[in-house]
Amino acid sequence: MAVGGERPDRTARETGSPLAQRLNYLFANMHPPGAPYTNGHVAEEISRGAEEYGGVSLTEQYLSMLRNGRRANPSPDVLRALAKFFAVPVGYLMGDLSASQAARVEEEVRFLVAMRDQRVRAIALRSVGLPPEVQDSLTTIICQFRQQMNLPADPPGTGGGEHP
């Protein structure tokens, strides 16, 4: 949540700032299990880890302005520090990636989020080493379970189309 109780996800959509949208996406998804990062936590971690983050000093207020679109042109050093913190390519935040490359970054984020779930991770790891036809059968079975539970064949945002 941004400073002052603002809702950065809504504000970013209203401003149309791609940087704000991408930052809010990372804040919402790239965090340890439990609770999303706060602006204060990220700003403090980056500022405290001067060597690791290129000597960038970041305030909670400035990060809030980036997330709500009131500031949209941070220095490349700030973008590099944020990209490093969230473990994404700096081009994702700079807007230098093509739409398909940015979508690939977000797909990797969704994958990492899914892998936080111990049960999902166990299912994925148990399929390692099985022949491709067996993996395809498992995918079909999972899709059938999803259909029985009135869920889409593929989780939202996965692109789908990979099952037989």
Q: What is the pLDDT of residue 5?
A: 38
Q: Flag whether pLDDT at 3 surpasses 80.
A: no
Q: Flag whether pLDDT at 157 surpasses 70.
A: no
pLDDT (average), residues 42-46: 95
Give dist(CA 112, CA 116) in Å, integer. Answer: 7
**pLDDT tens-place string over residues 94-144:** 888 889 998 999 998 888 888 877 888 888 889 999 999 999 999 899 889
Q: Flag whether pLDDT at 2 surpasses 60.
A: no
> Coil, helix or strand for 133?
helix
Radius of gyration from C-alpha coordinates of the chain: 19
Give dist(CA 112, CA 30) in Å, integer. Answer: 8
- Residues of the chain with pLDDT > 70, as a percent, come to 85
Give dist(CA 10, CA 123) in Å, integer. Answer: 35
Q: Flag whether pLDDT at 34 surpasses 80.
A: no
- Residues of the chain with pLDDT > 90, as a percent, come to 47
Q: Flag whether pLDDT at 67 surpasses 80.
A: yes
